[in-house]
Chain A
Amino acid sequence: MNLINLFIMSILTENIVLMKFLGICPFIGTSSKEKSALGMGVSVTIVITLSSIITYLLYYYILVPTDTTYLKTLSFVLVVACMVQLIEMLIKRRNPKLYHSLGIYLPLITTNCAVLGVLLLNITNQYSFLEMLTFSIGSSLGFTLVIYIFSTIREALERRNVPNSFKGYPIALITASIMALLFSRYLIV
């Protein structure tokens, strides 16, 4: 029950993009096309899920016993960078077709705050292993969902007449504001 609760919460009311502002750069920057938004979402989901398991084990079995928890930022960044590199090589060898559609998004993920943010939240919220897994998968699905919806809205917006100074990013941010309002808990209560 608790896990289901956490799962739904991490997708909707505690959405990492709209409520915690993680991964805003790809959200605003790359999500003006439907297809690229989906590609980004899928690659972020893979990277978050795999690297959250690794960093969780790394933190509780290496950093905590050796009393070097202050190295968590540094080591997590390294794990994410290696993970991205590894997945990129694997996909390139096994499935060149998939590589062509996902390839351009993978290197960008290293500096995506959503990935590092979720990894750090796993630690600061002191989740157990199962909770951690649920939260990571839920958050990355939430990221994919929001980035996909947002890209479709923006594609429609591009064909509309928007006041000159609102063109581009400002109108995107205001759209994001309305979306955040819809996702927030105030409406449910």
Chain B
Amino acid sequence: MKTIQNGIIKENPVFVLLLGLCSTLAITTKFENAYLMGICVTIVLIVSNLIVSCIRKWIPESVKTPVYILIIATLVTIMELLLHSYARDVYQVFGIYLPLIVVNCIILGRALAVASKTSVCKSILDGFGIGLGYTIALMIIACIREVLGSNTITFMDSISTITGYRAIYRVFPENELIPISFLISPAGAFLTLGLLMAIFNAIRKGGKHESH
């Protein structure tokens, strides 16, 4: 339980460790893309942590990184093939950011820092916690960017071929302020993340003051 909590708050991959920002910034224009990307990364992270932790005793120190990258690349290729055949729309929305999960520093970072040193059970838990923290961070960013940037919130659109129905809602009634299309643009992505991190920092430091 503590490992999972650690992944969400203390070592949140996006707000604290600042890892895997490529997909974080590129994908979060829609709420739906955010949680789907989060799920994909979490699955790859858990499985790669599991495999790395199982074989950690047989891998010599000098070839550690290439071996881990190959394992992750294989898992991502499997993910690509699965999405390509079962959820074509999602595959197309993600574009090059799906294969780029391979070089998402979170996964390799966790493999090197945690999974290659700890027991199987603990590394799976760590993968789950970090993955959950990543997903939550993506969902927060996407929520802000989509609601303010296009005045909608998309729960199901490109995965409607699987679930069977669409769910896109309007949030605010017609007005002049919203949508602010700036937030959907790349510049808006940087700004949203910067402000959110500042808020996150302020909350964490505020908490520390009370405990002193």
Contacts and interface: CB of A to CB of B under 8 A. Distances in A.
A166 interface: yes
B194 A174 contact: yes
Contacts, number: 126
B21 interface: yes
List of 8 A-B pairs having minimum Cβ-Cβ separation, nearest first:
A173-B194, A177-B190, A180-B187, A165-B202, A177-B191, A170-B198, A174-B194, A165-B201
B184 to A, nearest CB: 12
B57 interface: no
A47 to B, nearest CB: 13
B22 A22 contact: yes
A111 interface: yes
A81 B69 contact: yes
A73 interface: yes
Q: In which size bucket is the chain B interface? A: 35 or more
Nearest to A115: B103
Contacts of A28: 18, 21
Contacts of A180: 185-187, 190
Interface in B161-212: 185-191, 193-195, 197-199, 201-202, 205
Interface of A: 18-25, 28-29, 70-74, 77-78, 81, 110-113, 115-117, 120-121, 124, 163-167, 169-174, 176-178, 180-181, 184, 186
Contacts of B102: 73, 77, 116
A165 B96 contact: no
Given A74-B70, A174-B194, A117 B77 contact: no
A85 to B, nearest CB: 9
7 contacts: A24-B25, A73-B99, A111-B105, A113-B100, A164-B205, A166-B201, A173-B191
B76 interface: yes
Interface string B79-91: 0110010000000
B119 interface: no
A70 B80 contact: yes
B198 A166 contact: yes
A165 B103 contact: no
Given A78-B70, A165-B202, A181 B105 contact: no
A120 B105 contact: no
B19 interface: yes
B148 to A, nearest CB: 15
Contacts of A24: 21-22, 25
A177 B188 contact: yes
Contacts of B70: 74, 77-78
B205 A170 contact: no
Contacts of B25: 21, 24
Given A74-B77, A110-B69, A180-B185, 13 more contacts: A21-B22, A25-B22, A72-B99, A78-B70, A110-B65, A111-B105, A111-B108, A117-B96, A120-B100, A169-B194, A170-B201, A174-B191, A174-B195
A124 B190 contact: no
Contacts of B189: 21, 177
